[in-house]
């Protein structure tokens, strides 16, 4: 496999294909619980699926939820 030609979205969707809701929830929970940076692209792809399949009202709810849970101030990253 040529790493330069790897399509990360496609690879994540391939890995998740056929997943039932429980498997998707477990994947998301495990990624968040682990706190590992390497899980962020996968969560981003799953978020993209959610976003692309949400109507305008649902998108507004998502945006409001995220915005209301982002702290006003946080430590500067190193």
Residues 20-58 have pLDDT tens digits of 999 999 999 999 999 999 999 999 999 999 999 999 999
Contacts for 45 with CB less than 8 Å, ≥ 6 apart: 8, 9, 12, 13
Total-model pTM = 0.82
Residues 55-72 have pLDDT tens digits of 999 999 999 999 999 998
Place of tokens 């030609």: 5
Burial grade of 49 (CB within 10 A; 0-12, 13-18, 19 or more):
middle
Strands (E), the chain: none
Q: Where are the domains of the chain?
A: 7-68
């Amino acid at each position: 496999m040529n790493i330069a030609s790897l399509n990360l979205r496609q690879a994540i969707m391939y890995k998740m294909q056929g997943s039932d809701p429980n498997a998707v929830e477990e994947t998301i929970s495990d990624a968040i619980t682990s706190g590992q940076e390497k899980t962020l692209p996968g969560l981003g792809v799953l978020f993209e699926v959610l976003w692309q399949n949400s109507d305008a009202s649902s998108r507004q709810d998502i945006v409001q939820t995220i915005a209301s849970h982002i702290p006003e101030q946080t430590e500067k990253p190193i």
